Structure 1
Amino acid sequence: MPLAEIPLSVWRTRAQTFNFNNHRIHFWSAGQGEPLLLLHGFPNASWDWHYLWQPLMQRYRVIACDMLGFGDSAKPLDHDYSLQEQADLQQALLQHLGIRQPVHVLAHDYGDSVAQELLARHHEGRASIASCVFLNGGLFPEAHRTVFIQKMLLSPLGWLVGRAFSRDTLVKNVTQIYGPDTRPSESQIDDGWSLIDAQGGTRVLHKLIAYIPERILWRERWVTAMQQAGVPMRFINGAVDPVCGAHMLERYRELIDNADTVLLPTIGHYPQTEAPVQVLKHYLAFRGQLQPSRRILVGV
Structure 2
Amino acid sequence: MSTIAPFSGFGLGLRRTHYQDFLESDVPVDFVEVISENYMVDGGNPLRILEEVRAKMPVILHGVSMSIGSANGLDSEYLARLEMLANRIDPLWVSDHLCWTRTSAHNSHDLLPLPYTREALDVVCSNIDHAQETLGRPMLFENPSSYMTFPEDEMTEWEFLSAMSLRTGCYLLLDVNNIYVSAHNHGFSADDYLAGIPADRVRQIHLAGHTDGDIKIDTHDALVCDGVWQLYAKARGILGDVATMIERDDGIPPLPELLTELDRARALATGPSPTDGPTDGPTERIAA
Work out whether the TM-score is over 0.5. no
TM-score, length basis structure 1 = 0.31
TM-score, length basis structure 2 = 0.32
